[in-house]
Amino acid sequence: MNALVAAAGIDPWIAVCSLVTVVITVGMGFWTAGKSKSAGDFFVAGRSVSVGWNASAISGEYLSAASFMGVAGMVMATGYDALWYPVCYACGYLFLLLFIAGPLRRFGAYTIPDFAEGRYDSPMFRKIAVCFVLFIGFFYTMPQMKGAGTTLAYIFPGLPYWAGVVVVGAVITLNVSLGGMKGITLVQAFQYWLKVFAITLPIFVLAAVVGQYQQHLAVNQTAQETTVTAVPGIERKALPAKAPKDEAWIAPFGKLTTKAVDASIAAASTPEEKTALEANKKPYSLLYTYSLIIALVCGTAGLPHILVRFYTNPDGVAAKRTTMWVMILIGVFYVFPPVYGVIGRSLTPELYDAVGAKGTDKVVLELPTLLAGRDHPLLGSVLSGITCAGAFAAFMSTFSGLLVSMSSALAHDIYGRMLRPTSSPEQRLKAFKWSALIVGVVAVGLGSQVEALEINFMVGQAFAIAAASYFPLLFMSVWWRGMTMRGAATGMLVGGLSALASITLTSVSDVAVAKAKKLTDAAELAAYWADHPLAKGIADFWVAHPLARILCEQPAIWAVPLSILLMIFVSKATAATVPADIRMKMLVLHAPEALGLKQEYIKEHEGLGGH
Amino acid sequence: MSESSPTPEAIHSDAFLARLMRDQLKLSIACALCFAVALVALPLLNYYQPAFMAQRVFGFTLTWLILGVLFFPFVWIISYVFIKRSIALEDAEAQAAKDGLTK
């Protein structure tokens, strides 16, 4: 058996650690399945989860494959600019805390579509809001699936990328349909602590052996430094041609933000054109940076699978406390992934040459094995096993959370509210399980297509869609009593869909370009592009118009204001349709629970035959 | 409205709601501004003062140290201040409303 494992190139330690994580996750799902009986348990865990548990569970759900693997991979690949991702992933919670968390919890509804309907008394609006749970959810599941495919291909070197996607997708779908949300709360909380352990322990051991974070950063020469800083004890491997140069990597406005202009410069035919493009490079980079910041900060406050967790707090104050603790828990985590990226640049530069599942996205998994070459073979395997376990925890927990929120949207909103309003709780529970299955299958199908795209980049795009749809909806609905349903719906639809469309355009052309790059034969390449004229047309358009490319790749800078402005203008134009009991709704959102306004509101609505 | 409702008229007045929302929004916006200034300023400093931001501090560049390490505790401080003040604000509002009820 051992010989078989060795022959297949599988490290038994890595395989065992990963397997243990999967078994514990699934086991906890089964164990808690018996405890979650009612529909309330399935959807929001009976709203009785304490601050500590909830903060750990939200953090566990939030720290996805993008955080665990993608951030490190992106820092290694593109340098400083990628740091905006972990920082905004963590600090974006501040907007959620300041403007949304408390009021949203007080209003009391299972999901965002519940809130949309309750705030505007409009079942029609619910249908629109549900669509975005699914849009954002599917965009978010794709990178999780890439994480799964990459990790399994790393553990089992012969395994194709898609097989990992299928295996992980099947296991989690089964787990969710058995346990629902209560099971998931426990599993998520456990997985947060597993992820923190898995990201910190290996890097502390590694840093002690191969050198510290700042030492590995110090060997990268900035544009201002005239000589390379020699740091004793730091051995740096030669960088391949594909790797960005030191001064571009360590400084702001590097490869991540300039690649659109760089592609245009490479294709420019005259020196004048090149000079003009060079002059635009830095301003466009600044624009890219701001758009990315807006997408990540506002997007965090509009993620359906995270927002649904705020309903599991007992009250608004607990919701605020939970948010603060989440910021601390995930902030602590996010200091570490960039360390892998920085050390990876010094010690595993060969990853720059690989693409897809073998590229920089796997630096977190690969780096600990370096210890094997430094007379610690067992330690290297064990630590790599631990990071693999963390990676499993990352994509499993986030995918579970997404699956719960998307399945809830299908079962609770579409089936329970639209298709069969008279259905019994048992029927809805059954619908939840079927929904989980459907969502799981679609997610696996989509995930198998995105091997060429960076994990972190894809998550950033899901954030941009959330930033242009749910964030304006929630922010404006909570703070402006003049908002009407038409205003909210127009803003959310136009902002969200235009962000979705522009992001899809860039992703589709990027996947096509990545496939084309694999073709070395000129005739094959020509035939490929002839078969994909649309993708070719889009790719050529980006080269000719780098600014358009940046605005489509990072749409938040125009889509968020567009959405908010539309909400204001359309609401002003339809001011007569502001809900009649708007003052009461606003009181429920903003007055402390101690005043008991929520109960009064419910009583009033029951009297009117409302929801 | 049901006749058993104990809530006094004062709570249902526009003035009460406006004050409630204004006080809470003021606090939220003040905290958001601290955060937004930092988010806007860092890229601008990188843009206009690249040499200053590239100076080495403990092996990091200054801008790397700020973004990769110091930004997190900065935001924790803002959120801690917000939570403390916002809970105090809510308690004061609830107390004021209850006092109004017993008068």
Q: What is the mean pLDDT of each run of 10 residues along chain B (103 residues)?
A: 49 78 91 94 94 90 93 94 90 77 51
Q: Pick from A156, A163, A159, A161: which is nearest to A11 by CA?
A: A156
Give the separation between CA A34 and CA A179, rounded to whole angstroms. Answer: 8
- Look at residue A608 in the predicted model and tell me its pLDDT: 44
Q: The pTM is what?
A: 0.89
Amino acid residing at A566: L
Nearest to A87 among B6, B71, B91 (CB): B71
Give the separation between CA A34 and CA A30, rounded to whole angstroms. Answer: 7
> How many Å separate Cα A74 from the centre of its chain?
14
Q: Which residues of B12-43 are buried (b: 16+ CB within 10 A; e: fewer)?
A: beeebbeebbebbbebbeebbebbeebbeebb
- Look at residue A395 in the predicted model and tell me its pLDDT: 84
Q: Pick from A23, A290, B34: which is nearest to A15 by CA?
A: A23
Reply yes or no on whether the pLDDT at A103 is more than 70: yes
Judge whether A286 and B43 are in contact, CB under 8 Å: yes
Reply yes or no on whether the pLDDT at A3 is more than 80: no
Q: What is the mean pLDDT of chain A?
A: 84
* Interface confidence (ipTM) of the complex: 0.87
- Look at residue B5 in the predicted model and tell me its pLDDT: 41
Give yes or no for A207 touching B (CB within 8 A): no
Find where tokens 């346990």 sit: A179
DSSP H or E stretch at residue B60 = strand B60-61
- Look at residue A328 in the predicted model and tell me its pLDDT: 93
Distance from CA of A7 to the nearest CA of B (A): 41
Q: How confident is the model at residue A482 (pLDDT cuts 50, 70, 90)?
A: very high
Q: Pick from A389, A386, A383, A337: which is nearest to A363 by CA?
A: A337
Judge whether A269 and A98 are in contact, CB under 8 Å: no
Angle at A303 between CA A491 and CA A589, to 5 degrees: 70
SS3 A236: coil
Give the separation between CA A181 and CA A36, rounded to whole angstroms. Answer: 8
Q: Pick from A584, A157, A201, A137: which is nearest to A398 by CA?
A: A137
> How many Å separate Cα A250 from the centre of its chain?
25
Minimum mean pLDDT range among A110-114, A153-157, A290-294, A602-606: A602-606
Quickly list H helices, A34-160: 39-44, 51-62, 65, 71-78, 84-91, 93-95, 101-107, 112-120, 123-155
- Suggest the residue from B28, B37, B55, B64 to mutate for an interface test with chain A (most A CBs closer than 10 A): B64
- Look at residue A603 in the predicted model and tell me its pLDDT: 60
Distance from CA of B103 to the nearest CA of A (A): 16
- Suggest the residue from A75, A217, A325 to mutate for an interface test with chain B (most B CBs closer than 10 A): A217
- Suggest the residue from A76, A84, A94, A599 to mutate for an interface test with chain B (most B CBs closer than 10 A): A94
- Look at residue A109 in the predicted model and tell me its pLDDT: 67
Angle at A365 between CA A364 and CA A366, to 5 degrees: 95
Give the separation between CA A551 and CA A263, rounded to whole angstroms. Answer: 15
pLDDT digits (tens, 9 = 90+) for A210-258: 888 888 888 888 888 877 777 777 888 888 888 888 888 998 998 888 8
Beta-carbon count within 10 A of A135 CB: 19
Q: Average pLDDT of A466-494?
A: 93
Amino acid residing at A596: G
Q: Cβ of A587 and B91 within 8 Å?
A: no
- Look at residue A197 in the predicted model and tell me its pLDDT: 93
Nearest to A83 among B7, B68, B83 (CB): B68
pLDDT digits (tens, 9 = 90+) for A31-83: 766 665 554 554 444 455 678 888 898 898 888 888 888 899 999 999 999 99
Please report the DSSP string for A380-441 in residue order.
Answer: HHHHHHHHHHHHHHHHHHHHHHHHHHHHHIIIIIIIIIII-TT--HHHHHHHHHHHHHHHHH
Q: Cβ of B17 and A95 within 8 Å?
A: no
Q: Cβ of A286 and B47 within 8 Å?
A: yes
Reply yes or no on whether the pLDDT at A336 is more than 90: yes
A-chain residue closest to B5, CA distance: A600
Q: Cβ of A594 and B24 within 8 Å?
A: no
